[in-house]
Amino acid sequence: MAAPSEESEFDPAIDSIKAVPVRHPLRWVMSVVVVVLVAMLVNTLVFSHITRDGQVEPRYQWGIIGHYFASPSVLRGLVVTIELTVIAMAIGIVLGIVLAVMRLSASPLVSGFSFLYVWFFRGTPVLVQLLFWYEISYNYHRFSLGVPFGPSFVHVDANTFVTAFVAAIFGLGLNEAAYMAEIVRAGLQSVDHGQTEAAQSLGMSRLMTIRRIVLPQAMRLIVPPMGNETISMLKTTSLASVVTVTELLLAVENIYDRTYQTVPLLMVASIWYLILTSVLTVGQYYVERRFARGAARSLPPTPWQRVRRNLFPAHVAPAQVVARDG
Amino acid sequence: MVVAAGVRKSYGRMEVLAGIDLTVRRGQVMCIIGPSGSGKSTFLRCINHLEKIDAGRLYVDGELVGYEQRGGKIYELSDRAVCEKRASIGMVFQRFNLFPHMTVLDNVMAGPLRVKKQSNEVARSRGLKLLDQVGLKDKVSTYPNQLSGGQQQRVAIARALAMEPKLMLFDEPTSALDPELVGDVLDVMRDLAHQGMTMVVVTHEMGFAREVADSVVFMDQGVIVESGEPGQVLTDPTHQRTRAFLSKVL
């Protein structure tokens, strides 16, 4: 094709580029590998068989999984798992915010306390903390509220107050607070100091400044790791099975202790954990979007909007080239 | 309105304010000029107690800033009392410092709503009026980052005015703006001065100082080198340091 002459006028409709695309051989190879791997996975999950005790059976017993998937005892365990997650996270978030604000206090005693709390609860395994709360009556027969070294006013019997469930809540929630405190602190410190000064120049008190100005902005940084923590907590609640809380894992354990169908029932639990995690992931996305206000010029699309955009992409304008003769 | 007598302030061994004496009368506009690092912003921030002074006395409206004198003793004011005093002093920052998570109107309403505990309707109608006054009536429900710097600074001025302050402090309000946006902000400030607002303005806008200010103060290295009427300080400075500075900026 001859180079356009000086006189020829550039017409984007005619001169739009229709180039032969560059080939990506490695991309093709990887695509084939992925397809093969997926095919192997489907085969082993659905179609393959295995000989157990002389009997040829499907490798994965989907029938058993389906049978127990929505059974009452599994669903009861599921509810307990959700309860543990929600309550422990609520304690973790509220206490975490308090600890973070304390950590930023001008008083070395107050900030030191917060530091020690985080140091202690982050420094010991959460399973040990769960066991400790479960065995609390070994050290405390009853809890009393009163003056240190002086009289006390309210008494609670340790064994009736700290049930297995309460022990799990304490263990998980107080541990979570230590991690949340660090996340919240990082978020609070990321907000420009000019925001605090502007709020104070309006006459806002320190606490109101944190609540109305700094924390809402910090949330944008706090929410993603908080979502992580929630998803992590969902699975950590399985540790409560060790202190006899019949959550999801102990619920299926109780069944396979009876039926010896260990693996299918562990899969029942796993599938439920995956479902709950998926729900949380979607929820996290919308919470993040909520706190993105004012940070981005336009809000990010919802997953549904993104799917629609991928299915019906807007027409791409033809590339425009300015012809120029040397 | 503002009286400073021997105000001193140091950060560690660095003395930022080395004895400042000045008086701003009610309804007056004072412009503070000077090279960067001369302590002018620090002094401004002392006036609403964002910075504590180390020595000297600083009065706003006849009362000590941040302290209270009772029977020959000086007591530090409680946080609450400091907040109350700040509420009556408006401040505008170089970097605007609008609240990015709130709309323009919410920014302007934040003070009256949270600090003055005004009702939503009262705060809203006053907020709308102020935004109209600074020429941003059509931007009430946008977020700050969708505005130009000049627009943001005008919102910031409206936000400060919403508290019905008796004194307005401006900390280099046009230094972060593109040159063509400076004029809009200065117009708003000029209107405010004509309405009789008492203003202390740290600025590099010599034209504004010459036109609007009742007095101009030239600061350098933590002291006031020269002060007086703008015509005198800006056109016929007596001090060598003032002359050297002005020859650089004019």
Q: How many CB pairs under 8 A join A and B?
A: 78
Question: Hey, how many other C-beta atoms are within 10 angstroms of the C-beta on B111?
Answer: 27
Count CB neighbours of A209 within 10 A. 20
| DSSP H or E run through B226 | strand B223-228
Q: Which two tokens stand for residue B115?
A: 């600090």
Of A39-53, A118-132, A292-306, B235-249, which range is least confident? A292-306
Q: Is A90 on the interface with B (CB under 8 A)?
A: no
CATH T-level assignment (fold) for domain A68-295:
MetI-like fold (1.10.3720)
* Rounded CA separation A181/A114 (Å): 9
Which of A196, A201, A219 to probe by mutation at the B interface, max B CB count within 10 Å?
A201
* Distance of residue A194 Cα from the nearest chain B Cα, in angstroms: 6
User: A89-93, A128-132, B9-13: which range is least confident on average?
Assistant: B9-13
Confidence of residue A20 (pLDDT cuts 50, 70, 90): confident
Domain ranges of chain A: 31-60, 68-295
Counting Cβ atoms within 10 Å, is residue A132 exposed (0-12), middle (13-18) or buried (19+)?
Answer: middle
> How do strand B167-171 and strand B73-76 relate by DSSP bridges?
unpaired
Q: Do B93 and A216 touch (CB under 8 A)?
A: no
Which pLDDT tens digit goes with each residue over A145-194? Answer: 878 777 777 788 877 778 899 999 999 999 999 999 999 999 999 999 99
pLDDT, averaged across chain A: 87
Pick the closest to residue B49 from B159, B162, B167 (CA basis): B167
Enumerate the residues of chain B whose CB falls inside 8 A of the CB of residue A208: 114-115
Residues A233/A236/A241/A244 CA torsion (nearest 10 deg): -50
Residues contacting residue A262 through CB under 8 Å, at least 6 positions apart: A256
Q: Measured between CB atoms, does B117 come within 8 Å of chain A?
A: no
pLDDT band at residue A9 using 50, 70 and 90 as cut-offs? low
Alpha helix stretches (DSSP H) within A43-104? 62-69, 72-103
The pLDDT score that the predictor gives to residue A314 is 56
Q: What are phi and psi of A151, to 5 degrees?
A: -70, 155
In whole angstroms, what is the distance from residue A113 CA to residue A119 CA?
10
E runs forming strands in A229-299:
none
CA-angle at B126, arms to B180 and B83, nearest 5°: 90
For position A3, what pLDDT does the model report? 54
Q: For testing the chain A interface, which of B114, B139, B148, B153 should be mutated: the one with the most A CBs within 10 Å?
A: B114
pLDDT values of chain B reduced to their tens digit, one per residue, 250 residues? 899 999 999 998 899 999 999 999 999 999 999 998 899 999 999 999 999 999 999 999 999 999 988 888 989 999 899 999 999 999 999 999 999 999 999 999 999 999 999 999 999 999 999 999 999 999 999 999 999 999 999 999 999 999 999 999 999 999 999 989 999 999 999 999 999 999 999 999 999 999 999 999 999 999 999 999 999 999 999 999 999 999 988 7
Instruction: Determine whether A69 is exposed, middle or buried from the number of CB atoms within 10 Å of its CB (0-12, 13-18, 19+).
Output: middle
More confident call, A292 vs B84: B84
Task: Give the integer Cα–Cα distance in Å for A268 and A26.
Answer: 38
* pLDDT, tens only, A234-250: 999 999 999 999 999 99
**8 A C-beta contact, residue B30 and residue B215:** yes
Contact A168, A243 (CB under 8 A): yes
Compute φ and ψ for B211, nearest 5 degrees: -80, -40
What does the mean pLDDT of chain B come to?
Answer: 93
Instruction: Read off the pLDDT of each residue in A190-219 and give the average, rounded to a whole number.
Output: 94
Q: Which two tokens stand for residue A207?
A: 């606490």
| Residue A12: pLDDT over 80 | no
Using a 10 angstrom Cβ sphere, with 0-12 exposed, 13-18 middle and 19 or more buried, the burial of residue A50 is exposed
Chain B nearest-CA distance from A222, in A, is: 15
- B99 and B105 in contact (C-beta within 8 Å)? no
C-alpha distance from B143 to closest chain A C-alpha (Å): 6
Q: Which two tokens stand for residue A251?
A: 């619920």
Please tell me whether the interface predicted TM-score (ipTM) of this complex is above 0.85: yes
Residues of A in Cβ contact (< 8 Å) with B88: 203
Distances (CA, A) of B165 to A100, A201, B91, B181, B216: 34, 11, 9, 25, 22
pLDDT of residue A304: 74
Return d(Cα B118, Cα B111) in angstroms, integer: 9
CB-based burial of residue A68 (10 Å sphere; 0-12 exposed, 13-18 middle, 19+ buried)?
buried
Which token pair is A184? 């919240």
